[in-house]
């Protein structure tokens, strides 16, 4: 479970970009986080990653107290999560297979495990026939699928995607969103998707948390994206 309790964040003194955030996300939930540019969406995801620390309040992810946690524990927290970014962040000189394998190597998975699991992750995102292609040979939608396969590589409980469809054409965007929903429904992953794409959000009738100027403006299950 993820819990924000009266969380605030200021990058500089008294300049709050998140104010008194209270959000509880249960295991296996699918949540959209929406809001205008500058609302604080990316900052919220950075707090979850512990790329940034909360200024006030409590932030809890399962047994981790992120507001109190020492830097040395951060790698253990991050192993419970997979991240997907708007700009894919793939290694250009590694193939699809190698990009996914690398994510497992860095956490010390055995070669045997890597050989067995990487193809399965790539297959799960529908890229089996592109396994040995390089990122430059892939479409935006395909690159994002690789990023998703990589996010799955450490078997995380939680997947956090910040504007995952921001650099993808609309048709492919729908596919990526469906894939995220499948990971939620079939594998039980907790999924948090930051987006400003109203049409996509309104298609799926999931929980929608709207941020406005650093505060939660609304939090609705089966919600629509209100502007
Ligand atoms: N590293 C930073 N230092 C100072 N201000 C920042 C930093 N990152 C973001 N901000 C500011 O925080 C606010 C929220 O930004 P962000 O979380 O990126 O919003 P969103 O993702 O919703 O567009 C913005 O006013 C932005 O300029
Ligand atoms: Mg952002």
- The predicted-structure confidence for 181-194, as pLDDT tens digits, reads as follows 999 999 999 999 99
Reply yes or no on whether the pLDDT at 227 is more than 70. Answer: no
The CB of 7 under 6 Å from ligand 1? The reply is no
In a domain, residue 23? The reply is: no
Residue ranges making up the domain that contains 125: 29-53+80-220
Helix (H, G, I), strand (E, B) or coil at 209: strand
The CB of 17 under 6 Å from ligand 1? The reply is yes
Q: What is the chain's mean pLDDT, rounded?
A: 95
What are 110-156's pLDDT values in tens digits?
Answer: 999 999 999 999 999 999 999 999 999 999 999 999 999 999 998 99
Q: What is the mean pLDDT of residues 5-24?
A: 97
Q: What is the mean pLDDT of residues 67-95?
A: 95
Domain count, the chain: 1
What percentage of the chain's residues is helix, strand, coil (to nearest 5)? 35, 25, 35
In a domain, residue 17? The reply is: no
Q: What is the mean pLDDT of residues 49-75?
A: 97
Which of 36-40, 134-138, 171-175 has the lowest average pLDDT? 171-175
In a domain, residue 3? The reply is: no
Ligand 1 atom with least separation from CA of 45? 17
The CB of 50 under 6 Å from ligand 1? The reply is no
The CB of 55 under 6 Å from ligand 1? The reply is no
In percent, the amount of the chain with pLDDT more than 90 equals 89
In a domain, residue 192? The reply is: yes
In a domain, residue 126? The reply is: yes
Residue located nearest, by CA, to atom 18 of ligand 1: 42
Predicted local distance difference test score (pLDDT) of residue 110? 96
Predicted local distance difference test score (pLDDT) of residue 10? 98
Q: What is the mean pLDDT of residues 153-166?
A: 94
Q: Sort 194 into a burial class: Cβ within 10 Å, 0-12 / 13-18 / 19+.
A: buried
Ligand 1 atom with least separation from CA of 52? 1
What are 209-222's pLDDT values in tens digits?
Answer: 999 999 999 999 98
Predicted local distance difference test score (pLDDT) of residue 189? 96
Predicted local distance difference test score (pLDDT) of residue 224? 74
Query: Please, are residues 6 and 57 in contact by the beta-carbon 8 Å criterion?
Result: yes
Q: Supply the CATH number for residue 164's domain.
A: 3.40.50.300
| More confident site: 129 or 198 | 129
Q: Which two tokens stand for residue 224?
A: 């629509």
Separation of CA 118 and ligand 1 centre (Å): 35
In a domain, residue 59? The reply is: no
């Amino acid at each position: 479970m993820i819990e924000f309790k009266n969380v605030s964040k200021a990058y500089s003194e008294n300049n709050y970009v998140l104010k008194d955030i209270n959000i509880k996300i249960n295991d296996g939930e699918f949540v959209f986080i929406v809001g205008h540019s500058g609302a604080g969406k990316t900052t919220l995801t950075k707090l979850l990653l512990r790329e940034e620390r909360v200024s006030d309040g409590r932030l809890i992810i399962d047994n981790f107290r992120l507001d109190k946690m020492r830097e040395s524990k951060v790698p253990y927290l991050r192993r419970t999560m997979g991240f997907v970014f708007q700009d894919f962040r793939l290694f250009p000189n590694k193939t699809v297979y190698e990009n996914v394998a690398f994510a497992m190597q860095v956490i010390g998975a055995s070669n045997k495990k890597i050989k067995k699991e990487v193809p399965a992750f790539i297959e799960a995102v529908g890229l089996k026939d592109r396994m040995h292609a390089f990122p430059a040979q892939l479409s935006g939608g395909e690159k994002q699928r690789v990023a998703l396969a990589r996010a799955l590589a450490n078997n995380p409980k939680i997947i956090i995607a910040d504007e995952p469809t921001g650099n993808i054409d609309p048709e492919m965007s729908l596919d990526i969103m469906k894939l995220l929903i499948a990971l939620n429904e079939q594998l039980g992953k907790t999924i948090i998707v930051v987006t400003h794409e109203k049409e996509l959000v309104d298609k799926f009738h999931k929980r929608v948390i709207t941020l406005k100027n650093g505060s939660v403006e609304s939090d609705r299950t089966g919600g629509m994206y209100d502007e």
